[in-house]
């Protein structure tokens, strides 16, 4: 009963979409298990760049069924737009055919976006994710299964609108929710998606019992986990392995493999402590930003950049028990004279080897680095050529010795084998460990 999980091992934006896209052809199901359209997965295949916020990255494989899991909060308007864009690109309308929405998933309404706009501290995406999760915890939110039951119940919808307006007034938002408009929106959601709303947990359990492969897609990263991340500068859901099966509606015994995706350096979007942060105006930090095109897929905001933080990576490994690491954007570091890895912090004169639970303490941490030799910059065609040569049996050994040493050190520090290395944005710009889980045939896009 095999299920595999792909998770972000840092503060998000690590390149999970590409890894999922590569694994999807060998999976019968791809499932998003948490988050909402505050996440963004980018897939580059040939001349096509896909930017998805709700649709699972496995959509690129036509034989892979798709699930928006019960642990998600879903904005129906964003989902509708993504589905229309997919139909324009491919001619396919997967909803109800191979795309299914968990009836237990929570619905993001205009109220949630308005309420989220009042945030001035955390630096959220403003997409209504946190308020939707809050309503779910307070047991006043709407799930997809509830919509059909609410239609025609004007008094209940009126009560909902009054509650929403009271809350908007409390946080200083002047907009108001009209009960009739809210009722019309619920009718539209029901008519638009009723053919795709299913009891997806039992569907996945049946598939696993038949021996089908299920790929569980994470959003954001381990350091943004609401419980284990750099609170309060975190997302509103549990991003780690423990929630992968729960947010899909199946039990954790199904998981066989868990892959952590980490950049060869570190980035972060939004506010919050970032011990290895570098300047975006000069030096290695600027190179990471410019060469790595470090802008958020969802927000468009510049990502903060820094050297690889092995303290955070080890924290992520402790939480998730990775069976393999995928190191992305290695090519971005080409041309730097030296590379650094943060192996511990100095906090108030004391060396610490773990992430402090307090963001205030973490903000005072200074990185303790070890230095490694850099490697020459190479063009995209050169990296693709190395990747092609690696598929003839050489695997990661096809890389230059300086790069292999850097990767070996990451393996040594984390205790996790590197199973794939990204050397460019394209699907084919990857180098897998020989005989490993990513040592699979990579093809041009067929969508």
The mean pLDDT of 378-397, rounded to a whole number, is 91
pLDDT-above-90 percentage for the chain: 83
Side-chain half-sphere CA neighbours of 379 within 13 A? 2
Nearest by Cα to 118 from 175, 163, 35: 175
* Residue 64: other Cβ atoms inside 10 A: 22
Q: Sorting pLDDT into bands at 50, 70 and 90, what band is 39?
A: confident
Q: What is the pLDDT of residue 45?
A: 64
Side-chain half-sphere CA neighbours of 89 within 13 A? 17
State which H helix or E strand residue 14 sits in. Answer: none
Residue 198, Cβ density class (10 Å: 0-12 exposed, 13-18 middle, ≥19 buried): middle
Angle between helices 179-193 and 154-170 (to 10 degrees): 110
State which H helix or E strand residue 395 sits in. Answer: none
CA distance 149 to 32: 26
CA distance 198 to 262: 34
Classify the phi-psi angles of 349: left when phi > 0, otherwise alpha if psi is within -120 to 50, otherwise beta.
left
Q: Is the pLDDT of residue 299 over 70?
A: no
> Which two tokens mark 371?
């230095």
Provide CB contacts within 8 A for 146, sequence distance 6+.
Answer: none
Q: What is the pLDDT of residue 298?
A: 63
The mean pLDDT of 361-368, rounded to a whole number, is 98
User: What is the tens place of the pLDDT at every residue in 138-167?
Assistant: 999 999 999 999 998 999 999 999 999 999
Q: What is the pLDDT of residue 40?
A: 74
Q: How many helices (H) and strands (E) does the chain have?
A: 13, 20
User: What is the tens place of the pLDDT at every residue in 91-113?
Assistant: 999 999 999 999 999 999 999 99
Selected from 3.90.25.10, 3.40.50.300, 1.10.287.180, 1.10.300.10, the CATH number assigned to the domain covering 106-193 reads 1.10.300.10
The mean pLDDT of 260-276, rounded to a whole number, is 96
Residue 75, Cβ density class (10 Å: 0-12 exposed, 13-18 middle, ≥19 buried): buried
Q: Is the pLDDT of residue 268 over 90?
A: yes
Q: Return the CATH superfamily for domain 3-73+201-432.
A: Adenylosuccinate Synthetase, subunit A, domain 3 (3.90.170.10)
**Residues forming CATH 1.10.300.10 domain(s) in the chain:** 106-193
Q: Is 48 helix (H, G, I), strand (E, B) or coil?
A: strand
Q: Is the pLDDT of residue 87 over 70?
A: yes
Q: Sorting pLDDT into bands at 50, 70 and 90, what band is 46?
A: low
DSSP 367: E
User: What is the tens place of the pLDDT at every residue in 160-196?
Assistant: 999 999 999 999 999 999 999 999 999 999 999 999 9
Contact 57, 30 (CB under 8 A): yes
Q: Is the pLDDT of residue 1 over 60?
A: no
Contact 15, 326 (CB under 8 A): yes
Contact 288, 282 (CB under 8 A): no
Greater confidence (288 vs 41) lies with 288
Nearest by Cα to 265 from 372, 365, 124: 372
Q: What is the pLDDT of residue 444?
A: 62
Q: Is the pLDDT of residue 337 over 60?
A: yes
pLDDT-above-70 percentage for the chain: 97
Q: Is the pLDDT of residue 239 over 60?
A: yes
Q: Is the pLDDT of residue 289 over 70?
A: yes
Q: What is the pLDDT of residue 408?
A: 97
Q: What is the pLDDT of residue 423?
A: 95
Q: What is the DSSP string of 254-322?
A: GEEEEEEEEESSEEE-SSS--TTB--SSSHHHHHHHHHTT-B-TTT-PBPEEESEEHHHHHHHHHHH--
User: What is the tens place of the pLDDT at every residue in 340-351?
Assistant: 999 999 999 999
Q: What is the pLDDT of residue 143?
A: 98
Mean of per-residue pLDDT scores for the chain: 93
Provide CB contacts within 8 A for 10, sequence distance 6+.
Answer: 221, 222, 223, 262, 263, 266, 267, 268, 309, 312, 313, 316
Q: What is the pLDDT of residue 115?
A: 93
Nearest by Cα to 3 from 215, 239, 201: 215
Query: pTM of the entire structure?
Result: 0.93
**Residues forming CATH 3.90.170.10 domain(s) in the chain:** 3-73+201-432
Q: What is the pLDDT of residue 42?
A: 74
Q: What is the pLDDT of residue 397?
A: 93
Is omega for the bond preceding 6 within 30 degrees of 0, making it cis? no
Q: Is the pLDDT of residue 365 over 80?
A: yes
Q: Sorting pLDDT into bands at 50, 70 and 90, what band is 443?
A: low
Q: Is the pLDDT of residue 120 over 80?
A: no
Say what the alpha-carbon torsion angle 376, 45, 280, 408 is, to the nearest 10 degrees: -50
Contact 200, 182 (CB under 8 A): no
**Residue tagged 């237990």 (tokens):** 104
CA distance 66 to 204: 10
Lowest mean pLDDT: which of 14-23, 156-165, 239-248, 338-347? 14-23
Q: Is the pLDDT of residue 442 over 90?
A: no
The mean pLDDT of 46-50, rounded to a whole number, is 72
CA distance 57 to 127: 20
Q: What is the pLDDT of residue 445?
A: 59
Please list the active-site residues: 13, 41
Q: Is the pLDDT of residue 447 over 70?
A: no
Lowest mean pLDDT: which of 49-58, 149-158, 351-360? 49-58
């Amino acid at each position: 009963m095999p299920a595999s999980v792909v998770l972000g091992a840092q503060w998000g934006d690590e390149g999970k979409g590409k890894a999922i896209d590569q694994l999807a052809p060998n999976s019968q199901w791809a499932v998003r298990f948490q988050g909402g359209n505050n996440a963004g997965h980018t897939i580059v295949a040939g001349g096509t760049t896909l930017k998805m916020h709700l649709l699972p990255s496995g959509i690129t494989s036509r034989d892979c069924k798709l699930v928006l899991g019960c642990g998600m909060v879903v904005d129906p308007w964003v989902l509708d737009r993504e589905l229309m864009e997919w139909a324009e690109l491919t001619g396919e309308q997967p909803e109800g055919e191979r795309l299914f929405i968990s009836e237990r998933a929570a619905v993001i309404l205009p109220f949630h976006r308005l309420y989220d706009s009042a945030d001035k501290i955390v630096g959220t995406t403003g997409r209504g994710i946190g308020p939707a999760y809050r309503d779910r915890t307070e047991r006043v939110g709407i799930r997809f299964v509830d919509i059909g039951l609410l239609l025609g119940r004007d008094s209940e919808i009126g009560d909902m609108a009054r509650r929403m307006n009271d809350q908007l007034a409390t946080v200083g938002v002047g907009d108001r929710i009209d009960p009739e408009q809210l009722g019309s929106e619920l009718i539209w959601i029901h008519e638009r998606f009723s053919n795709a709303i299913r009891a997806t947990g039992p569907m996945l359990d049946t598939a696993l019992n038949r021996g089908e492969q299920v790929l569980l897609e994470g959003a954001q990263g381990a350091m943004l986990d609401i419980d284990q991340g750099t609170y309060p500068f975190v997302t509103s859901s549990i991003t780690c392995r423990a929630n992968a099966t729960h947010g899909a509606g199946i039990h954790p015994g199904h998981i066989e493999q868990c892959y952590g995706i980490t950049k060869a350096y570190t980035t972060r979007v939004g506010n919050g402590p970032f011990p290895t942060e570098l300047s975006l105006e000069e030096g290695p930090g600027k190179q990471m930003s410019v060469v790595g095109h470090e802008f958020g897929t969802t927000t468009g905001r510049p990502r903060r950049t820094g050297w690889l933080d092995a303290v955070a990576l080890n924290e992520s490994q402790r939480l998730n028990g990775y069976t393999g690491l995928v190191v992305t954007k290695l090519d971005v570091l080409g041309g730097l004279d030296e590379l650094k890895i943060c192996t511990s912090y100095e906090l108030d004169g004391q060396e610490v080897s773990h992430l402090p639970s307090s963001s205030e303490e973490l903000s005072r941490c200074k990185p303790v680095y070890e230095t490694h030799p850099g490697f020459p910059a190479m063009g995209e065609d050169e990296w693709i050529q190395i990747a092609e040569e690696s598929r003839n049996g050489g695997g990661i050994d096809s890389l230059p010795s300086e790069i292999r040493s850097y990767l070996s050190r990451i393996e040594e520090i984390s205790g996790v084998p590197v199973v794939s290395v990204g050397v460019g944005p394209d699907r084919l710009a990857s180098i897998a460990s020989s005989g490993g889980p990513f040592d699979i045939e990579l093809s041009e896009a067929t969508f």
